[in-house]
Amino acid sequence: MDKSTKFLGIDISKDVFDVMNIKDQHFQFQNSSKGFRELKKILSSDSVCVMEATGYYHLKLAYFLFEHEIKVSIVNPLSIKRFVQMKLSKIKTDKADAKMIRLYAQSNELKLWKGNSKNQVESLQIARLLDIYTKQSTALKNKIHGEETLGNPSSIVVRSLKRSLTRIQKENKLLEDKLIELIKKEHAAMLTNLESIPGLGRKTATMLIVYTDGFNRFDSAAALCSYSGMTPIIRKSGTSVNGRPRISKMGNQKLRNLLFLCSFTACVHNKACNDIYQRITNKGKSKKLALIAVSNKLLKQAFAVAKSSMPYDENYRSALPVH
């Protein structure tokens, strides 16, 4: 995108959204189909609408613009926040936020949003609901355990808890089966190949495909590791600051947690992961640090397998010519 691009900063809330154009003209519309149509009237063919990824509120507008062939860019809210801090802005209003989003767009290289297929949208919705049900299931199991350890637990309470747990487990199974069905429609071979990686289970392989849209959202393994929050942050400055490196944790927490759980099995059954684990622990480093490195390695293996369309082969690297 060149300097002549007409960026519009859009700050979205539940009921309305504020728009700031390149002439610093401010507009406010209802966050509804009527408001979307009114916004479309002030746009030109070279307009680019830039907005933050604000939960779910931005999605309807983004899809409306995308379907009407209007360019859209969706920015990480943290990037906007850091940009505002850098500008030392002391004003916090929807109008000011829209202007800052527009200024950010003019100062940074943006990627155009391409939307998701209906299959991908439904897969993401199922994944989010599965996450909620998993948390509820864990809470119910803990509650049942707590009640049963009492000296005289209430039978009606325990039965009610167990019925609720059974219902959630049934819903979980239905959703998991549906998610696998959706994945296999477009990525059956990829799912099989990912499962060939020692230590990577079906659940993690499925979620990798869902969260990365079949690995189409990433051009490199480094970008994928950054998305999962597995990349290290180095904290060193002069002689006074020399903090221990740690992972950023700014990415997809659910994916990061799944990979960490897989790392325990990968240390035993995945040769490349075991080598990394042994190398780090032999240097006296903590086991947790080694497991994080294993998680990172698993992610890189998954990226390579997905992009090559081939099952995992632990001897593949050694078969490459040495330059």
Looking at residue 218, its pLDDT comes to: 85
Give CA–CA dist 106/97, Å, rounded.
14
Q: pLDDT class for 237, splitting at 50, 70, 90?
A: very low
Give CA–CA dist 111/299, Å, rounded.
23
Tokens standing for residue 131: 């996450």
Give CA–CA dist 238/99, Å, rounded.
37
Count CA atoms within 13 Å of residue 274 on its CB side.
Answer: 9
Whether 321 has a pLDDT exceeding 60, the answer reads: no
Looking at residue 1, its pLDDT comes to: 61
Q: What is the mean pLDDT of residues 209-233?
A: 83
Q: What count of other Cβ atoms lies within 10 Å of the Cβ of residue 177?
A: 10
Looking at residue 153, its pLDDT comes to: 82
Q: What is the mean pLDDT of residues 195-203?
A: 94
Q: pLDDT class for 32, splitting at 50, 70, 90?
A: very high
For residues 206 and 183, the answer to whether their CB atoms sit within 8 Å is yes
Looking at residue 299, its pLDDT comes to: 93
Residues 137-162 have pLDDT tens digits of 999 999 999 988 877 888 899 999 99
Looking at residue 94, its pLDDT comes to: 87
**Given 2.60.40, 2.70.70, 1.20.120, 1.10.287, which CATH number is that of 118-187?**
1.20.120
| CATH number belonging to domain 6-107 | 3.30.420.140
Q: What is the mean pLDDT of residues 90-103?
A: 89
Q: pLDDT class for 250, splitting at 50, 70, 90?
A: low
Question: Which range among 16-25, 84-93, 177-186 shows the weakest confidence by mean pLDDT?
Answer: 84-93
Looking at residue 117, its pLDDT comes to: 84
User: What are the residue boundaries of the structural domains of the chain, listed by start?
Assistant: 6-107, 118-187, 221-319
